[in-house]
Amino acid sequence: MLNPSTRKAFVSILLCLFPLAGIAKEENIGVAALKGYAVFKMGKYQEAFDIWQPLAVKGNTTAMNNIANLYANGLGFDRDLSLAAQWLQKSAEMGDSIGQLQLGMAYEQGQGVPKDNQKAAFWFEKSAQQGDRDAQFNLGVMLATNFGLNDSPSSEQLEKAKYWLKLANEQNHPEARVFLKLIQ
């Protein structure tokens, strides 16, 4: 019996040595995604893209998020925030909490999409409802700052902000407790 760290190393080596015969079978999708991650970690970004792209086309949201990351950071391609946002949009619309969080951040920062704090909050809330602590924190801050408008939030917004910040704090978000104290 292999210990967990030896088993991980063994699986990583196998993924690199044995190319997949194809990804038509459902069980091979996870293996393909892992192989994509392994080659990504080796700095073979185009090869990772070539593995993730067919998965993304078939609806794999993790592959979509990974492709968005490649474009957003210019890994294997010229940096293209618009293409990154398009992949995140697909992932977010399919209900992926990471895609929703990252799309919200793109809207908040105006990266690849027009800056729009209302849309950012919309996507943060979708992700927050699935339990993502970063989305809960970001949504709480959006509400507490009246979507960054430098106006006081309504009492309803402030209550919602406290709700989301408390949830983020319960999940040990590193900044939630401090922000909660600021708005109490």
Structure tokens at 49: 């893209």
d(CA 151, CA 47): 48
52 closest CA partner among 154, 100, 60, 167? 60
More confident residue, 34 or 171: 171
CB atoms within 10 A of CB 46: 12
Segment 12-50, tens digit of pLDDT? 333 333 333 344 445 578 888 889 999 999 999 999 999
Residue 117 belongs to a domain: no
Indicate whether 178 belongs to any domain.
no
Residue 143 lies in a domain: no
Structural domain span for residue 73: 1-102
More confident: 21 or 98: 98
Query: Which of 3-17, 47-61, 90-104 is predicted least confidently?
Result: 3-17
What pLDDT shows up at residue 30?
80
Q: From the CB of residue 75, how many other CB atoms can be counted at a distance below 10 Å?
A: 16
Is residue 82 in a domain? yes
Q: How many structural domains does the chain have?
A: 1
Residue 85, pLDDT > 80, answer yes
Q: How far apart are CA 69 and CA 83, in angstroms?
A: 10
Asked whether residue 136 is assigned to any structural domain, the reply reads no
Mean pLDDT across the chain: 87
Which pLDDT score is estimated for 27?
Answer: 52
CATH number (domain holding residue 52): 1.25.40.10
